[in-house]
Structure 1
Amino acid sequence: MDARRYHALPSPFAMKRGGALHGAQVAYETWGTLSAARDNAVLILTGLSPSAHAASSSEDDSPGWWEAMIGPGKAIDTDRWFVICVNSLGSDKGSTSPASPDPATGEPYRLGFPELALEDVANAAHAVVADGLGIARLACLIGCSMGGMSALAYMLLHPGSVRAHISVDTAPQAQPFAIAIRSLQREAIRLDPNWNEGRYDDRRYPETGMSIARKLGVITYRSAMEWNGRFARIRLDPEQRAEQQPFGVEFQVESYLQGHARRFVRGFDPNSYLYLSRASDWFDVAEYGEGSVQQGLQRIRVEQALVIGVSTDILFPLEQQEQIAEGLRAAGAEVEFVALDSPQGHDAFLVDIPNYSRAIGGFLGRLSLDRGPG
């Protein structure tokens, strides 16, 4: 069974940086029941690679990427909230992406896909909420990682459409370190001969480039403290090593990265990865504030906000979470700022469930108790 639903976007669907999509769609899933007043909706925007399957349901009992956070009695309580998770436009997990057929040719878009911005991701998600589900105002918008950037775009582009916001491990703009890492990831894919200017297939596929890109990502998603604690300098048993391979895998941490990459490589379209990665680098709230991030953030109007960051996050440093909190507070929101010391780094929101549940569940509980879900 499949819980995935689809919303057809307006055709043409204009893109921020030029061009348009025709016959495009966005995949999404929902949990819980929408109230008669349509005032209890919580929208989740995801990081770069997750699908809309954030949690299991009666229609699809496979665990979702945020399974421990969403469900009856959990932090994002589906007995109370109608929860929506949208797969980003440009992702190959059901939404129109570079891997989708171009209606004009019948062939995959590949690099013919229009330049993608996170504003396009935000506008597509808003179309699902407003046009597809008839929800004029979200009770809460939750954005994780890249999805947090998309959430900021959503609120800037659609003022008055969100009552409360939860910002999770994100940023108002990419810092040079994050840009540098993503640039290397894209370069690894582009330099794989099998990428072939985006014209690969199942037989000739850029496995090596995608593997390196994933390994680079996983290294930065966790902290040095986490790597030291989990693996130290432990070597693989002799029978686990590739003895005939020069400079082959020798340490447990190398084997761990290989396993992560192996599971990811064929599970995400390389061109989609390139487009979404570059969109993350391009996004900048300062564009909405005459060159100032703070002025851009102050254009966002929500009643309440929770901003969560992790001290060990090197991709989206804690000072960027503080920047978001300060900007939303200056715009008039009641802001709670939570700084966690989780050793897991950027991935903490997927791993340190007790601390994130406490913060998010507490915020949503107070939101519904104090002001009602609408």
Structure 2
Amino acid sequence: MSTEARDARRYHALPSPFAMKRGGALHGARVAYETWGRLSEARDNALLILTGLSPSAHAASSPEDPSPGWWEGMIGPGKAIDTHRWFVICVNSLGSDKGSTCPASVDPATGRPYRLSFPELTLEDVANAAFEVVRHGLGIERLACLVGCSMGGMSALAYMLLHPGTVRTHVSVDTAPQAQPFAIAIRSLQREAIRLDPQWNGGDYDIHAADGGRYPDIGMSIARKLGVITYRSAMEWNGRFARIRLDPEQREDEPFGFEFQVESYLQAHAQRFVRTFDPNCYLYLSRASDWFDIGEYGGGDVMAGLRRIRIERALVIGVSTDILFPLEQQEQIATGLEAAGARVDFVALDSPQGHDAFLVDIPNYSRAIGGFLAAL
């Protein structure tokens, strides 16, 4: 059997120049995406998924790439997002290093990586780039459904506001209409950890360095650990690890070294992530999440901004244990969309997995999302 890596990614060239919300423009930029299922002759069965900060466009396996996707349990024949019925599109965010143009990409004007010369990135830019894929790359005038998860849920709100009439229904998953102080504080610390790593070197590290090159491994590791801590709930941390200590031979032989299993878990998780995501991309997308505020479209009022969105139906899902995007923010989205005239289903789950529940608690999310889509 061949072990050659396979890639189902496709690419859409963005218009050049591609203007950015906060100024500047990209030239020769592109966006990576993957698709599953078949687009109907009427082009009325398209479902677009916008992702969280770090996932690629590979949301599920396919004949072109049989490796499991980040939402494998949710997408496929007979699953909640049934590819026998839906033409599913997942777009890699502009600014992400998973195939789309990003700070690690080569600037055609200089022949060198953009690094910090990349224009300031917003989630509105992410939304506009995704719209270009749907409208001009795939020729789809109106999405049957737009699904947004975590950061992607904020991008989805921007998409619907900036491109009215192009979305029929919406599934909002563990997201927010604006970042609250706790989420901003956590992401600020993550960015600080990266920036204060001497190997970050003002963004001028070895982008493709193998182990041993100039690369902010420590900063990225700390940033990832902070993220993982907030992605799960205290209930789950207690249930999984309690105060269990490492076996003596597993402990670090240095002052203040790891002693508890939870410390070892976080370290292993961080090590798997550090070299798989570009640090500058992390900084740009993290800040874009903090900047997003749908209240900007309602004269400073979040509810007024939400009331500008015109769709037929929506499903809004939140988790009671989510400390990063609290349940009351999901309620706010549901109330705002309903006030705008949409028929809204609101589902509050009690999953112990916190913010990451949509990636872990597939049975409960499948029931909610699959039931909603089946009724369309």
TM bin (shorter chain): over 0.9
Residue of structure 2 equivalent to 1:341: 350
**Residue 330 of structure 1 aligns to which amino acid in structure 2?**
A
C-alpha distance in 2 between matches for 1:276 and 1:292: 24
Q: Give the unaligned 5+ runs of structure 2.
A: 1-5
The one-letter code sitting in structure 2 at the alignment partner of 1:210 is M
Cα RMSD (Å) of the superposition?
A: 0.3
Which residue pairs with 1:79 in the alignment? 84
Matching residue of 1:162:
167
1:232 and 2:242 correspond: yes
Measure, in 1, the Cα distance between the counterparts of 2:240 and 2:311. Answer: 40
Supply the distance in 2 between the matched residues of 1:362 and 1:61 (Cα, whole angstroms): 27
Q: What is the CA distance between 1:206 and its match in structure 2?
A: 0.1
Counterpart residue identity of residue 180, structure 1: A
Q: Give matches, 1:116-135, under 5 Å.
A: 116-135=121-140
Instruction: Provide the rounded CA distance (Å) in 2 between the counterparts of 1:183 and 1:96.
Output: 24
1:246: how far off?
Answer: 1.1
Give SS of 1:122's match.
helix
For residue 351 of structure 1, the aligned residue among 347, 356, 360 is 360
Query: Is 1:179 aligned with 2:188?
Result: no
2:99 corresponding residue in structure 1: 94
User: Deviations 1:193-245 (Å, cap 9, x if unpaired)?
Assistant: 000000000110000000000000000000000000000000011111112x1
Aligned to 2:257: 248
CA distance in 2, matches of 1:259, 1:169: 26
Please point out which of 16, 21, 44 is paired with 1:11: 16
The ranges of structure 1 where at least 4 consecutive aligned residues each deviate by more than 6 angstroms after the TM superposition are: none
User: Which sections of structure 1, spanning at least 5 residues, go unmatched?
Assistant: 368-374
1:269 aligned onto 2:274: no
Alignment correspondent of 1:372: none
CA positional deviation for 1:119 = 0.1
Q: What CA distance in whole angstroms lies between the structure 2 residues aligned with 1:106 and 1:161? A: 37
Select which of 111, 126, 136 maps to 2:116.
111
1:352 and 1:142 map into 2 onto residues whose CA distance is 17
Q: Distance in 1 between matches of 2:187 and 2:7?
A: 32
Percent same amino acid among aligned pairs?
86
Matched, 1:51 2:60: no
Distance 1:349 1:270 in 2: 25
Task: For 2:157 and 2:236, locate their aligned partners in 1 and report how far apart those are by CA, in whole Å.
Answer: 29
- Correspondence for 2:339 among 319, 323, 330: 330
- Kindly state the Cα deviation for residue 183 of structure 1 after the two structures are TM-superposed: 0.1
Partner of 1:70: 75
AA aligned opposite 1:186: R
Secondary structure in 1 matching 2:99: coil
Q: Structure 1 residue 302: deviation in Å?
A: 0.4
Deviation at 1:344, TM superposition (A): 0.3
Paired amino acid for 1:211: S
TM-score by length of 2: 0.97
Give me the TM-score of the superposition, normalised by structure 1: 0.98
Name the CA distance, whole Å, in 2 between partners of 1:2 and 1:173: 34
Residue number in structure 2 paired with 1:223: 233
Q: Give the Cα–Cα distance (whole angstroms) in 2 for the partners of residues 20 and 342 of structure 1.
A: 42
One-letter identity of the residue aligned with 2:297: Y
